[in-house]
Amino acid sequence: MEIRAKIDKTIKSKHSNLIVAADTNSAEELVAIATNIGSNICMLKTHIDMIDDFSPKLIGKLKQIAKQENFLLFEDRKFADIGQTTLHQYTEGIFKIADWADVVTVHALPGPGILQAIEPTCVQRKSGVLLLLQMSSNGNLLSDSYRQMALNIGKKYQHIVPGVIAQQKLNDEPNWLTCTPGVKINDAGDKLGQQYNTPKNVILKNNSDIIIVGRGITRATNPKQEAEKYQRLAWQSYIKKTSM
Ligand code: 5BU
């Protein structure tokens, strides 16, 4: 199944347009998060290079939980180099991201070569790219004109780009899913420039499709309960939006 169809199917069958950002430096904790909230999410977002005790065994475990709980694996690698280097980083090294990640994030900054480089691997493995169009951090440099140019690059690779990372649905994009990070209830931001919005605002006001929540869930007193809450809030807003 193509990656876009796979994401749609997962969202609909689980009633979940929630991605959890499992930001931790411990393999054990990453597995624990995936096990605990796996039933609430459509994708688990990782920063695999944060893990202190990485081993290929961790990937085996994540794949197993992902299959069991029916979610996709999303490595937020934010590739941003020339095509040749990106291809090596995607397929080789200790992480071998292309072997297990259903989707990865890619900056359009280096130009179309970055997508051209990984396209054959994505096609072969039926995996995809979430193209970075906007960021949530205060003072980021992804301007409107940058976004427009990035979008034009992405349009030429729609077959491997199921969606984008942005703060709101952007009018002139093709049939892409919009995934939005920077989501937390009862908090405006952190001390390092992160800016937060609520699930309802992100889905209904900004017309996004999928929320990405990290610390709002993983650092809560009861992460499972919080995951259920974010799942419910995001899904209710999604249903309301699609029935409008
Ligand atoms: P938080 O704990 O909900 O603030 O974590 C947000 C996650 O989303 C974290 O893994 C970031 O690397 C990621 N992120 C983001 O916060 N903002 C962005 O614009 C992009 C990614 Br792109």
The domains of the chain are located at: 2-243
- As a whole number of Å, the end-to-end CA separation of the chain is 29
pLDDT tens-place string over residues 11-41: 999 999 999 999 999 999 999 999 999 999 9
> What is the H or E stretch that residue 43 is in?
strand 43-46
Structure tokens at 92: 């080789």
Query: Smallest Cα–Cα separation from 46: which of 83, 111, 101, 107?
Result: 101
Indicate the helix (H) or strand (E) that contains 21.
strand 18-21
Exposed e or buried b for every residue in 145-177, given b needs 16+ CB within 10 A? ebbeebbebbeebeebbbbbbbbbbbeebeebb
**Marked catalytic residue, from 57, 61, 63, 78:** 78
Tell me how far the alpha carbon of residue 199 is from its chain's centroid: 15
pLDDT tens track for 145-199: 999 999 999 999 999 999 999 999 997 767 899 999 999 999 999 999 999 999 9
> pLDDT digit string (tens) for 56-68?
999 999 999 999 9
Task: Report how far ligand 1's centroid is from the alpha carbon of 15 (Å).
Answer: 22
The percentage of residues in the chain with a pLDDT greater than 90, rounded to a whole number, is 96
Q: Ligand 1 site: residues with CB under 6 angstroms?
A: 21, 23, 47, 76, 132, 135-137, 165, 181-182, 184, 194, 212-216
**CA-derived radius of gyration, the chain:** 17
Q: How many Å apart are CA 187 and CA 197, to the nearest integer?
A: 8
> Catalytic: 67?
no
Best mutation site among 25, 109, 136 for ligand 1 pocket (most ligand atoms within 8 Å of CB) = 136
Alpha-carbon span 191 to 200, nearest angstrom: 23
- Which two structure tokens, joined as six digits, stand for 224? 């499972």
Burial state string for 33-42 with b = 16 or more CB within 10 A and e = fewer than 16 = bbebbbbbbb
The CB-side HSE value for 92 (13 A sphere, CA atoms) comes to: 6
> What distance in angstroms lies between residue 47's CA and the mean position of ligand 1's atoms?
10
CA angle 80, 157, 127 (to 5 degrees): 75
Distance CA 59, CA 128 (A): 18
Q: Tell me what pLDDT residue 1 has.
A: 74
pLDDT, the chain, mean: 97
* CB contact at 8 A, 119 and 94: no
Taking the CA of residue 212 as reference, the ligand 1 atom at the shortest distance is 8
Q: Look at the domain 2-243 and name its fold.
A: TIM Barrel (3.20.20)
% of residues, the chain, pLDDT over 70: 100
- Atom index in ligand 1 nearest the CA of residue 47 equals 10
